[in-house]
Chain A
Amino acid sequence: MTGRFSNPQAVPSDSAPLYEQVRHQIQMLVLGRPLSDMTPLPPESQLIESLGVSRGTLRRAIEDLVREGLLRTVQGSGTFVNPDERVRRVVWNRLREVARPDSRFDMNLQKFVPDFADRHLADATVQSLDAWINADVVFIAPDNSTEALRLHALADGKAVLVPTYGLTRGFVLLKGNLIKAVDRGLAATLDGMERFGKRLGPADLAEAGHVDVIVTGATAVTMNGQHIGGGQRYLALEINLMRDLDVVNDLVPVIAVVHDCQVIAETVQAKPECAVEIIVTPTRIIRCGTKTNIRKLTVKSNG
């Protein structure tokens, strides 16, 4: 269901229970701090006094934020902010201004990586990069912001490897030279790709050959190349699967296509899904310094 849970930052109504109002106040406090600030929340007694609420209400509010992943409590040392989740929430807030709704999830940004205003300007930049031009096989994440690049790749006759949403049905391999011009637009969508591509599970993923470049959207990306996804860590899982099957090597370039508001200048102690080599936005291109080394920088996902 969409609606009240689609935006964790929605202001609770006046008739909402007190703990929801307190949850909102604490969230605002946390999101208002610099993204690099890792100091714990003030002690419980101090919050009780400053917010003017009971211990029970405060605990209920904090428990909710812990369950949502924004906070974590460490026995004996206090309540801390989860830096990845804080980045996500700050960026989702900004993205609401420029994002395009999803065909199913509307503006529930926890569920998908949205397309955004002026994205075509970023696409043009990606298409001018050697890493893109020289690639025969491209991995393109199933993000709405990368749909048009899937179309361009197919038009260029490239092979495109796309995971299904949530990896529920493995990967789909689309071969640009086998898809008719009239079908390309359809084949580039999540709705249409399975009509044209071959579905590949872990057993036959090697059929994709060797991926020359990874193109992905992101919830956020830091200037030094940390890819922060939606929280389910699908990209990390996909890259690990491909690496285990030798579909990608450790030096494959990763290009992240994002809106300028998704680029984080601060140093964040995040748990990135992978390292990004080049960030492309509608207005600029950021080379993140070090060469991608997936082995070093990809955090192994659980399970």
Chain B
Amino acid sequence: MADISEEYREIIWEELLKVGRPDSRFHWDFSSFIADFEGSDQCVSRIVNLDSFTSRGAGRIFITPDNCLFSLRAYLLENDIPFVMTTYGIVRGFYEIDPRKVPASDRRFAATLDGFDMYATPVNIEQLAAGEKFAVAVTGGSAVSRNGVRFGKGHGYFDFEYALLTELDLISPDTVVVDVVHDCQYVDKELPAKEHDVVVDWVITPTRSISIENVDRSQTRIFWDRIPGTEFEGLGVTKELAKFLDSTKNSGLRSNKQKQQSRGKI
């Protein structure tokens, strides 16, 4: 039987051709990027007015390099709100950007993938782990269901990124995960979550803010045994993470809770 997520991707990509925007490099190849769409700018106020966003305190914001999040990145930069983002395909790992270092004239430029790393600085795993926990993680996707199961472009980048942050103890029970999609990408059905799926708390569309109840991400982790042979195997962050977790385990730096979790889940 065909993978259920594949089935939905196909139907929704068809719809997305009508309201989506092509990528500067990949044109309409939705398997290579998460598309921007008509009305994505209307999602911004919905996100920044969420209680978990306004009350985030020192908690950091993680954003994926998806095209539909351009307007959100532009808003954050224009309002001096720093955030952390990965490069496309996580190939060059994580970067953080401090808007105060970006001239006012270049903030919208820095909100694009083409402009981002002109001003953002790379953060390695050790530096990432030393910082504040993440209060908010925002991603796009190909489709998302009523119970918060999201499908990306089919590579599993966001699930990997979120699992990585979890392994680094940078995710708390209060961390809120937001998925930004067009209305046509919302599937009003309960769909089964796979073990590695990061279920989201909020689905934000240009017209609706949908809160997902009873979300459980307590079992999130990196599935090391599934990495060989995938594109994650060759990533710098994968090797760095393995090394970092090894060294902290040995030096006892990680919290007991975390150690228990790692041990209990093989």
Give A residues with C-beta under 8 Å from B.
1-4, 101-106, 111-112, 144, 147, 164-166, 168-169, 181-186, 188-194
Cβ proximity bits B239-258 to A, threshold 8 Å, 1 near / 0 not: 00000000000000000000
Min CB gap B17→A, angstroms = 13
- The interface bits of chain B over 9-45 (1 if a CB of A lies within 8 angstroms of the residue's CB, else 0) are 0000000000001111111000011000000000000
Taking a contact as CB atoms under 8 Å apart, the answer to whether A182 and B234 are in contact is: no
In the assembled complex, the CB of B108 is this many whole angstroms from the nearest CB of chain A, namely 5
Contact A169 B27 (CB under 8 A): yes
Q: A189-B112, A191-B113 are in contact. Are A106 and B92 (CB under 8 A)?
A: yes
Which residue of B21, B88, B114 contacts A147 across the interface (Cβ within 8 Å)? B114
Question: A103-B87, A191-B113 provided; 19 other pairs, C-beta below 8 A?
Answer: A1-B231, A2-B231, A3-B234, A4-B234, A101-B91, A104-B25, A104-B26, A144-B114, A164-B24, A165-B25, A168-B27, A169-B27, A181-B105, A182-B108, A188-B109, A189-B115, A192-B112, A192-B115, A194-B24
Q: Which one, A182, A185, A190, A192, contacts B25 given CB within 8 A?
A: A190
Q: How many residue pairs, one in A and one in B, have C-beta atoms under 8 Å apart?
A: 86
Determine if A185 and B116 form an interchain contact, defined as CB atoms under 8 angstroms apart. no
Contact B114 A192 (CB under 8 A): yes
| A185 partner, pick from B32, B105, B113, B117, beta carbons under 8 A | B105
B27 to A103, Cβ gap below 8 A?
Answer: no
Could you tell me the distance in whole angstroms from the C-beta of A168 to the nearest C-beta in chain B?
A: 4
**Is there an interface contact between B92 and A186, defined as CB atoms closer than 8 Å?**
no
User: By the criterion CB–CB under 8 Å, are A106 and B115 in contact?
Assistant: no
- Closest 3 CB pairs between A and B? A185-B109, A191-B112, A103-B113
CB contact between A168 and one of B22, B70, B111 (< 8 Å): that residue = B22
B106 interface contact, C-beta 8 A: yes
Please, which residues of chain A bring their CB within 8 A of the CB of B27? Answer: 165-166, 168-169
Chain B residues packing against A (C-beta within 8 Å): 21-27, 32-33, 70, 87-89, 91-92, 104-106, 108-109, 111-117, 231, 234
Among B32, B33, B114, the one with the most A-chain Cβ atoms within 10 Å of its Cβ is B114
Contact indicator A189/B114 (Cβ below 8 Å) = yes
Shortest distance between the CB of B262 and any CB in chain A (Å): 28
With beta carbons under 8 angstroms apart, the residue of A104, A181, A182, A188 that contacts B88 is A104
Q: Which of B21, B25, B108 contacts A105 (CB 8 A)?
A: B25
Query: Which residues on B sit within 8 Å (CB–CB) of A194?
Result: 21, 24
User: A168-B27, A186-B108, A189-B109 in contact; A103/B231 too (CB < 8 A)?
Assistant: no
Nearest opposing residue in chain A for B112, CB measure: A191
Are B115 and A104 touching (Cβ within 8 A)? no
A103 to chain B, nearest CB (A): 4
Assess whether B89 is in contact with A185, with CB atoms less than 8 Å apart. no
Least CB distance from A251 to B in Å reads 32
Residues of A within 8 A of B111 (CB): 186
> Are A2 and B105 also in contact (CB < 8 A) when A191-B112, A191-B113, A191-B115 are?
no
The distance in angstroms between the C-alpha atoms of A289 and B99, with both chains bound, is 47
**Nearest A residue to B235, CB-CB:** A3
List residues of chain A with CB within 8 A of the CB of B112: 103, 186, 189, 191-192
| A190, closest chain B residue (CB) | B24
- Expressed in whole angstroms, the Cα–Cα distance for A182 and B103 within the complex equals 10
Interface centre among A103, A168, A169, A190 (most CB of B within 10 A): A103
B250 CB to closest chain A CB, in angstroms?
A: 29
A140 → chain B closest CB, angstroms? 15
Q: Which of B26, B33, B89, B115 contacts A186 (CB 8 A)?
A: B115
User: A103 contacts B88, CB within 8 Å?
Assistant: yes
Q: List 30 A-B contacts (CB under 8 A).
A: A2-B91, A3-B231, A4-B234, A101-B91, A101-B92, A102-B25, A103-B88, A103-B116, A103-B117, A104-B24, A104-B26, A104-B113, A105-B25, A111-B25, A144-B114, A165-B25, A166-B25, A169-B27, A181-B105, A182-B108, A185-B109, A186-B111, A186-B112, A186-B115, A189-B115, A190-B114, A191-B24, A192-B109, A192-B112, A192-B115
A118: min CB distance to chain B, Å: 15
Chain A, residue nearest B32 (CB): A104
Q: How far is the CB of A244 from chain B (nearest CB, A)?
A: 24
Instruction: Determine the chain A residues whose CB is within 8 A of the CB of B89 once the complex forms.
Output: 2, 104, 106
With a cutoff of 8 Å between Cβ atoms, the chain B residues found around residue A165 in the complex are 24-25, 27
Hey, which chain B residues are within 8 Å of A192, CB to CB? Answer: 108-109, 112, 114-115
In contact, A169 and B22 (Cβ under 8 angstroms): yes
A182–B231 CB distance below 8 A: no
B115 and A185 contacting across the interface, CB-CB below 8 Å: yes
- Tell me, in angstroms, the Cα distance from A236 to B163 when the chains sit together: 46
Shortest distance from the beta carbon of B166 to any chain A beta carbon, whole Å: 25
**CB of B214, distance to nearest CB on chain A (Å):** 36
Taking a contact as CB atoms under 8 Å apart, the answer to whether A183 and B88 are in contact is no
Return B58 CB to nearest CB of chain A, in Å. Answer: 30
Contacts of A186 in B (CB 8 A): 108-109, 111-112, 115
In the assembled complex, the CB of A26 is this many whole angstroms from the nearest CB of chain B, namely 25
